Structure 1
């Protein structure tokens, strides 16, 4: 398997952060083997192990256990690559957080996130991939502080999550966390995440730009496919993306494209908790959302781009995925 990587420009947020605590970022970077602290090319990536070393080193050098919350003051959209601009152009925080969940791995391949819709609101769960370790706890503070800062930038308010949950043990003082997040924070939980009320999550955003968001989504999808070309799920989805416009792909054709028998493919997917039908549905739904965000594409055109033979079939499928008809989704606030 290829070495896991992270976006080099994303790491510059961390260098800005340690500079705020009196550490020379250039010297810090050289000790880690990073030759330059200038903004790198947008495609430059570094090994994930280097990111681990940086967080571990920073945690040893900085006495404040909550220091990583300061990342909120150190970012610029360019540090997050295309994802930064896609986020800022989202129509609502719900769509922004779902974009982050979909494309988190463009920032770091060991990271992942997901959104869970609850009666209380939209729950965003972040997994840095480092477990319950000091490095993991610091990375959780770092990541969630960036997410909240992004939300506040989009929303234009001093937004406060309804609840923040952290896996780290309760620190000696919780005041820095309460002051930063502006709401209740619970420690020693099973996951790192935050909850936004539906009123906040679905509020239309003044920074919304559907055309820019759609363009960024296309770039991000390509980046993600390139990053994960050794991953079975990504390889399957890349094939489905290519074949959908010719009608509904078959699992037989997919298996052939991967050099596997249909039975072997089914077994490998099952071992990952996946299925061909599930991957097809997920791929179609994500594409449907992207296409519906493009006002130039008609529902009829989208129907055939997704491999459906009739618009009624697409409408039934989208209602099953989203609860709304495609046309109703387009008209809803923040869609």
Structure 2
């Protein structure tokens, strides 16, 4: 794989529909880029990331509208996102779906990074297209965030609007298309791209939720992620932690040994990403705790031991530290909604 990374080929179907709604012949556009039609039908196929950058830049030049990529929201279908699309639809809440996006976004585009965090004023989704200050960056952000917001609206209702949006791009001469699409205050020229959802919106149970199905999709996605990115130390570390959790708190030396690394090497590689072994353990436990709490068939006592805690009070303290609420309160949202 070259340094530009790769993108899931079926995502390109969104791009072809996008250029079509702007009056460009999608078949001719595809041929110009040299992409075979059978590749776009292959759910396992991937295309070079640099080709996606070229395609968006070419589309921008032909269309002549700097807001054109926002209309990607009209062009997506769950199947275009592979297993991730269907895992999203079956998520219990938007927060759960955004956490899935955080974990598995590399499957869609290997240079993409998402970060979902619970903050005092809501749930924030930070997006990094991985292109630095390249001119194609704002186009990728518009393309991606418009799809993410459209996905939220499919699950939670078309009237949904974020509380706020931050964009790295300088303020356009005409910012109206962005305000019209997002329907909220937008700050341009910010250090990062992100949107904020109100906590009550992000954590409200969704009518499309199917927890057993979502957990099955997570298994497929984890296997796909591990197969695609053997160099992803965080995913490999999380997978090993999950395998050991029910036996108790996994130690750094034990996880490092399972990965064929020394403890010092593991810590050094995590530190290069701004992480510690404990932060990866906490994130893994939090992700799994939310999945277990979404399942009404599992008691909090059972979940306590499945996560490797020796007593329920320790789990309650940890979950409150991760999410700002007790496990019973998180589970109670579904009951009172």
Q: TM-score, normalised by structure 2?
A: 0.90
User: How big is the shift at 1:311?
Assistant: 4.0
Q: 1:296 to 1:228 in 2, by over 3 A?
A: farther
Q: Deviations over 1:249-281 (max 9, x none)?
A: 222222222333223333333233222222222
User: How big is the shift at 1:43?
Assistant: 2.2
User: How big is the shift at 1:203?
Assistant: 3.3
For residues 199 and 231 of structure 2, the distance between their equivalents in structure 1, rounded to whole angstroms, comes to 37
Q: Deviations over 1:123-173 (max 9, x none)?
A: 222111112332111111111111121122112232222222211122221
Structure 2 match to 1:147: 148
Structure 1 match to 2:119: 118
Match status 1:270 vs 2:279: no
Contact 2:129 2:140 in 1 (8 A): yes
Structure 2 match to 1:322: 323
Q: 1:204 to 1:235 in 2, by over 3 A?
A: closer
How do 1:3-42 residues align onto structure 2 when only pairs under 5 Å count? 4-36=5-37, 39-42=40-43
For residues 203 and 26 of structure 1, the distance between their equivalents in structure 2, rounded to whole angstroms, comes to 41
Q: 1:283 to 1:62 in 2, by over 3 A?
A: same
Contact 1:132 1:167 in 2 (8 A): no
Q: 1:295 to 1:229 in 2, by over 3 A?
A: farther
SS of 1:134's equivalent in the other structure is coil
Q: Deviations over 1:13-70 (max 9, x none)?
A: 0111011122222222222221116752322222222211211221222111111011
Structure 2 match to 1:248: 249
Q: Which runs of 5+ in 2 are unaligned?
A: none
User: How big is the shift at 1:9?
Assistant: 1.0
For residues 331 and 324 of structure 1, the distance between their equivalents in structure 2, rounded to whole angstroms, comes to 11
Structure 1 match to 2:223: 222
Structure 2 match to 1:259: 260
Contact 1:217 1:290 in 2 (8 A): no
Cα RMSD, aligned residues only: 2.4
Structure 1 match to 2:107: 106
For residues 226 and 315 of structure 2, the distance between their equivalents in structure 1, rounded to whole angstroms, comes to 25
For residues 284 and 200 of structure 1, the distance between their equivalents in structure 2, rounded to whole angstroms, comes to 24
For residues 309 and 150 of structure 2, the distance between their equivalents in structure 1, rounded to whole angstroms, comes to 40
Contact 1:16 1:25 in 2 (8 A): yes
For residues 295 and 103 of structure 1, the distance between their equivalents in structure 2, rounded to whole angstroms, comes to 25
SS of 2:249's equivalent in the other structure is coil
SS of 1:273's equivalent in the other structure is coil
SS of 1:295's equivalent in the other structure is coil
Q: 1:118 to 1:291 in 2, by over 3 A?
A: closer
Q: 1:314 to 1:163 in 2, by over 3 A?
A: closer
Contact 1:132 1:168 in 2 (8 A): no
Q: Deviations over 1:182-235 (max 9, x none)?
A: 222222121112222234323333322323322222222222222322122222
Q: Which runs of 5+ in 1 are unaligned?
A: none
Contact 2:317 2:326 in 1 (8 A): yes
For residues 25 and 201 of structure 2, the distance between their equivalents in structure 1, rounded to whole angstroms, comes to 39
For residues 285 and 119 of structure 1, the distance between their equivalents in structure 2, rounded to whole angstroms, comes to 18
